[in-house]
Structure 1
Amino acid sequence: MTPEVLAPWISLTLSVIALLSIVYGWFTSGEKAVAADLTAHKEAVSKGVKEVGETVSDLERRVQALEGELRHLPDREQAHRMEIALEKLNGRIDNLATKLDPVSAIADRWQELILEQAKK
């Protein structure tokens, strides 16, 4: 083969290689940007996951504190029994108040008697 016959074939081969290099570079150049974006998104997601985990931990602590505070409070049955006891106590106080009315009247009359005797 003579160089005049090989020259067009070598030129065509080199042109195809150059064209393929350009096409490959064009397609893979966006790949770097996508990889950078993907890395940024992964970092943002991991940061968000950490923040959510911290928030959940804070909420768990707060719930545990509230549960600890609520354990010693009376339940529904105990509150009902206390209401009944208070009603009984109010009834007894009202009964005592009605029984003390005559005593109060006696005290008032006694005071009037003492004041009248003091005037004499």
Structure 2
Amino acid sequence: MRIGELATKSGVSVRALRYYEEQRLLAAERTTSGQRVYPPKALDRVQLIQQLYAAGLPSKTILDLLPCVDAGVSTPESLARLSLERNRINDQINSLIATRDRLDAVIAVATDSTHPCHTP
């Protein structure tokens, strides 16, 4: 598929796809006229890259982890890195849950008509 089609299907800008190529996170073949052509599996790759970015992983870390994803084989070092990132993400999730719970408590107080801080 061409870059525009991949951008549309993935919801990622053409500029972002070019950046992924520059960072060696995504590969495309070139036609004789120089146009990028991506294999069908590129859509899954872009979605994975987006998820990893959203989780806070930098492109260098993603680049280091992609061979494990592609080959389905991990080294002790890559497993340690994956575990470290998973633990970091779990910490983020727990922090977000704690923040949500605090907001829920503030909302409950603010909507409690018997509480002195309640404003109608």
Q: TM-score range by the shorter chain?
A: 0.3 to 0.5
Q: Which of the pair has more CA radius of gyration?
A: 1
Query: TM-score, normalised on structure 1?
Result: 0.32
Query: TM-score, normalised on structure 2?
Result: 0.32
Which has the larger share of helix? 1
